[in-house]
């Protein structure tokens, strides 16, 4: 594929152009009455915006959506798919990107990391997608990263994650760990006078790295605070009575929980059953969004604090438009968690970047990304940092019995993304 | 580790930790009983056991929704009906599966492993299509959540008590059914010598179907009970399947007593070690010791003499 730039295979390029022409002819004859010219401002010429053979025509551009819609991770990734489709639909309704309508090709990563890599390659090599919105777990991102770097694609990755990564070919629309963790710890220490912390997590890279950052911050950067326990559980662990007893003995001021998946449900149900009252015991989590509460049950987690950048209950004009639009498209009962909102940012940021660069070329998009700001973000306002992460505010929410959060604190300014935090490794 | 804690603290923690071990024991028995019946009595390795459990959980979920919508007055007690319905649903599905799938594979025990594994994937996708990929929250009556205070420090989770009671009840019922009732005699006769049992007039096909149905039905009850302590999602059954097999294999596949003994050993070991070590380390040590013991006693803790 690297040869492509030097010597593009003439037959396929020619055939594509011919096919496009053939496809456009009947469309040109039939569509004009249905598609008023004003709806789609005429964009710049295709040759000008696409010099590397991406799937861009005179009136359409193709992108990819790559999430798990089957397997374990479907639970989490469904919301992201919905948000990305909503964003694409809204962008198209506003006239598309550079005068071109966005078409998407959706692939299923099936909760299997090699499948993610294979589908990513398909989206880039066969479909020539101009951008791909996708992945959820760090494992899937790590699996596709070499593919995106080798074939020079652009990935918009929505999940809050552990950091320690930066790539020309990825825009990270979720928070990296220090953004999410530090503000929350500072808040809970100041507001609750917390001195002792008990760190819990599922046993894989994100909770371990995040708790490492939390521990460094508690021990080295705040005064008079210490960690009194740290425990990890295999993914899918369902029995938490022993650790709950351990915490009863140690009596930490704050339980800091980064438990994921089905374990989450078991943990909060058993916590409640063991008589730990979250209105008295401070518990802070960075892994429970509104999506997870659907499974946990609001009554089991009410009173817990979550620290992330977005909550569905957030009050601002952008969110007041976003939430009803999401519900109208995906049903009144759907809820929107932090990652879902971050996934929604992906297509918009890509559109804004393409318009800034006046091109779909990956290299130009990557170069134009730093400084791109999205004022219509449901979370308020975001801006892309030169390290391809987002400047964003961090917020603390308190879980209500109805499964929503009350937002009770937000940082005064935007938190700077710092994927390689010095002093936290 | 124990520096700085008063005797009162330690005493109450010991009591609660002991109780946590007993709850875990009950959970393991409940999970493993259905599998042990099918594995032990029929020699079928039922990889779809977890999915039968989740069917029970979904039945409970549907019940809670129905009661909340139409019979809010009786909501406090819907759980008992849900358990019975879960048993029926999983049991009937089990019998249907036995009829359609398993009975063709009795002569090929390893193929049943593949077939039931395939079945588990199919069921997962069915749940995903019907109930959605997301976890569903099963709302429980208020009296089932929370804890009773025995003293100022000792708190006993009520759902733990319910699981223990349920396990005792079902174990007792299974014991009576297999070892005291006429039907159980037939089941044991078929296990010991299928040809001879058939020759004396036992309808072995019917016995097989009912045994499989019973095993799956108990899985349904377990799933229903676990809505109190765990999650309900299409793939949640997978969370239990490893522990379940561990208990059954460690106990000796043919023996219900063995299953109970092994559930007790594993649960006590796990809950004690989790208290002193982290959850992951406890898991590793338990698995290592089980592997070690199985190397010395490949047939498991308890063995019944069976004639093939």
Which of A232, A292, A294 has its CB closest to that of B278?
A232
The residues pairing with B157 across neighbouring beta strands, listed in sequence order, are B147
A326 and A282, same structural domain? no
In a domain, A23, yes or no: no
pTM of the full structure: 0.82
In a domain, A349, yes or no: yes
Look up residue B62 and give its two tokens: 């549907």
Report the pLDDT value the prediction gives residue A3, as an integer from 0 to 100. Answer: 38
Report the pLDDT value the prediction gives residue B59, as an integer from 0 to 100. Answer: 94
Q: Mean pLDDT, to the nearest integer, of B290-297?
A: 86
Report the pLDDT value the prediction gives residue A249, as an integer from 0 to 100. Answer: 85
In a domain, A29, yes or no: no
Distance of residue B70 Cα from the nearest chain A Cα, in angstroms:
20
CATH number of the domain where residue A192 is located: 3.40.50.2300
Indicate the average pLDDT of chain B: 86
In a domain, A49, yes or no: yes
Q: Phi and psi at residue B53, in whole multiples of 5°? A: -60, -45
- pLDDT tens string A124-179: 999 999 999 999 989 899 999 999 999 999 999 999 999 999 999 999 999 999 99
Residues from chain A contacting residue B128 (CB–CB below 8 Å): 70, 74
Residue of B nearest to A334 (CA): B134
Residue of B nearest to A272 (CA): B146
Residues from chain B contacting residue A72 (CB–CB below 8 Å): 235, 238
Strands A196-202, A155-157: pairing is unpaired
A344 and A334, same structural domain? yes
Distance of residue A67 Cα from the nearest chain B Cα, in angstroms:
13
A157 and A131, same structural domain? yes
Cβ pair A290, A323 in contact under 8 A? no
A338 and A270, same structural domain? no
A222 and A127, same structural domain? no
In a domain, A17, yes or no: no
In a domain, A241, yes or no: yes
A278 and A223, same structural domain? yes
CA-CA distances (angstroms) from residue A364 to A50, A169, A356, B226? 10, 11, 9, 53
Q: Mean pLDDT, to the nearest integer, of B66-82?
A: 87
A145 and A197, same structural domain? no
Q: Mean pLDDT, to the nearest integer, of A185-191?
A: 94
Which of A239, A249, A300 has its CB closest to that of B13?
A249
Q: Is the model's pLDDT at A10 over the cut of 50?
A: no
Residue of B nearest to A301 (CA): B137
- DSSP assignment of B170-237, as one string? HHHHHHHHHHTSHHHHHHHHHHH-HHHHHHTT--HHHHHHHHHHHHHHHHHHHHHHHTTTS-BSTTTH
A355 and A274, same structural domain? no
In a domain, A354, yes or no: yes
In a domain, A27, yes or no: no
Distance CA A15, CA B56 (A): 56
Identify the DSSP state of A3: G
A182 and A144, same structural domain? no
Residues from chain A contacting residue B160 (CB–CB below 8 Å): 241, 273
Report the pLDDT value the prediction gives residue A419, as an integer from 0 to 100. Answer: 93
Residues 149-208 of A with CB under 8 A from B: 203
Q: Is the model's pLDDT at A33 over the cut of 70?
A: no
Q: Is the model's pLDDT at B3 over the cut of 60?
A: no
Distance of residue A134 Cα from the nearest chain B Cα, in angstroms:
18
Model confidence at A29, pLDDT cuts 50, 70, 90, reads very low
Distance of residue B24 Cα from the nearest chain A Cα, in angstroms:
7
Residue of B nearest to A111 (CA): B235
Three-state secondary-structure class, residue A284 = strand
Q: Mean pLDDT, to the nearest integer, of B33-46?
A: 85
- Residue A84 belongs to what domain range? 36-175+319-391
How high is the ipTM of this complex?
Answer: 0.79
- pLDDT tens string A40-71: 556 788 888 999 999 999 999 999 999 998 77
A194 and A330, same structural domain? no
Q: Mean pLDDT, to the nearest integer, of A362-373?
A: 96
A143 and A279, same structural domain? no
Distance CA A180, CA A160 (A): 8
CA atoms within 13 A on the CB side of A255: 29
A189 and A88, same structural domain? no
Which of A209-218, B65-74, B126-135, B150-159 bottoms out in mean pLDDT, i.e. has the lowest?
B150-159
Q: Mean pLDDT, to the nearest integer, of B224-235?
A: 85
Distance CA A335, CA B61 (A): 19
**Overall domain count for chain A:** 2
Residues 253-292 of A with CB under 8 A from B: 261-266, 269-270, 272-275, 291-292
């Amino acid at each position: 594929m690297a040869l492509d730039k030097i010597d593009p295979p003439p037959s396929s390029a020619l055939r594509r152009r011919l096919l496009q022409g053939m496809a456009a002819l009947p469309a040109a004859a039939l569509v004009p009455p249905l598609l008023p010219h004003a709806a789609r401002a005429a964009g710049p010429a295709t040759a000008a915006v696409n010099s590397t053979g991406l799937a861009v025509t005179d009136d359409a551009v193709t992108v990819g959506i790559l999430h798990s819609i089957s397997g374990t991770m479907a639970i989490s990734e469904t919301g992201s798919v919905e948000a990305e489709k909503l964003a694409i639909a809204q962008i198209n309704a506003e006239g598309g990107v550079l005068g071109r309508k966005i078409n998407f090709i959706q692939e299923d990563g099936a909760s299997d990391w090699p499948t993610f890599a294979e589908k990513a390659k398909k989206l880039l090599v066969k479909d020539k997608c101009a951008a791909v919105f996708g992945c959820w777990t760090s494992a899937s991102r790590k699996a596709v990263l070499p593919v995106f770097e080798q074939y020079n694609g652009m990935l918009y990755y929505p999940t809050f994650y552990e950091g320690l990564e930066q790539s020309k070919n990825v825009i990270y629309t979720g928070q990296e760990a220090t953004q999410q963790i530090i503000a929350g710890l500072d808040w809970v220490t100041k507001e609750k006078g917390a001195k002792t912390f008990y760190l819990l997590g599922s046993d894989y890279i994100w909770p371990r790295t995040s708790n490492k950052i939390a521990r460094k911050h508690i021990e080295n950067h705040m005064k008079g605070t210490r960690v009194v326990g740290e425990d990890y559980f295999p993914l899918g662990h369902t029995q938490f009575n022993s650790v709950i007893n351990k915490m009863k003995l140690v009596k930490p001021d704050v339980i800091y929980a980064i438990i994921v998946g089905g374990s989450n449900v078991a943990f909060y149900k058993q916590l409640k059953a063991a008589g730990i009252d979250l209105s008295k015991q401070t518990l802070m989590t960075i892994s429970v969004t509104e999506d997870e509460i659907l499974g946990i049950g609001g009554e089991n987690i009410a009173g817990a604090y979550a620290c992330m950048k977005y909550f569905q209950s957030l009050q601002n004009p952008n969110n007041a438009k976003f939430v009803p639009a999401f519900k109208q498209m995906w049903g009144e009962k759907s809820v929107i968690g932090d990652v879902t909102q971050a996934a929604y940012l992906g297509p918009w940021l890509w559109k804004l970047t393409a318009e800034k660069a006046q091109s779909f070329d990956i290299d130009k998009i990557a170069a134009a990304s730093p400084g791109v700001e999205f004022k219509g973000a449901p979370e308020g306002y975001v801006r892309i940092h030169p390290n391809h992460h987002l400047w964003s505010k961090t917020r603390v929410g308190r879980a209500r019995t109805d499964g929503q959060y009350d937002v009770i604190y937000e940082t005064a300014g935007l938190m700077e993304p710092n994927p390689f935090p010095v002093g936290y490794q | 580790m124990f520096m700085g804690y008063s005797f009162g603290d330690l005493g109450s923690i010991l009591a609660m930790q002991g109780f946590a071990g007993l709850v875990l024991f009950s959970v393991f028995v409940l999970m493993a009983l259905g599998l042990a019946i099918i594995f032990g009595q029929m020699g079928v390795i039922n990889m779809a056991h977890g999915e039968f459990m989740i069917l029970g959980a979904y039945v409970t979920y549907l019940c809670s929704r129905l009661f909340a919508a139409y019979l809010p007055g009786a909501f406090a007690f819907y759980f008992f009906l849900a358990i019975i319905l879960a048993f029926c649903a999983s049991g009937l599905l089990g019998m249907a599966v036995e009829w359609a799938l398993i009975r063709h594979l009795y002569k090929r025990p390893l193929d049943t492993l593949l077939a039931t594994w395939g079945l588990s994937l199919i069921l997962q996708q069915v749940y995903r299509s019907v109930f959605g990929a997301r976890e569903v929250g099963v709302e429980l009556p208020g009296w089932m959540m929370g804890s009773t205070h025995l003293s100022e420090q000792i708190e006993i989770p009520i759902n733990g008590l319910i699981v223990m009671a349920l396990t005792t009840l079902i174990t007792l019922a299974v014991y009576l059914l297999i070892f005291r009732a006429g039907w159980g005699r037939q089941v044991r006769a078929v296990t010991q010598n299928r040809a001879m049992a058939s020759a004396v007039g036992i309808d072995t096909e019917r016995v097989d179907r009912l045994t499989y149905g019973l095993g799956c039905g108990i899985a349904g009850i377990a799933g229903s009970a676990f809505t109190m302590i765990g999650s309900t999602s299409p793939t949640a059954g997978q969370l239990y399947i490893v522990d379940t097999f561990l208990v059954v294999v460690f106990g000796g596949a043919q023996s219900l007593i063995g299953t109970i003994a092994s559930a007790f050993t594993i649960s006590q070991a796990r809950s004690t070690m989790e208290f002193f070590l982290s959850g992951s380390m406890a898991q590793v040590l338990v698995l290592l010791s089980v592997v070690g013991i199985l190397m010395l006693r490949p047939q498991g803790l308890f063995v019944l003499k069976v004639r093939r």
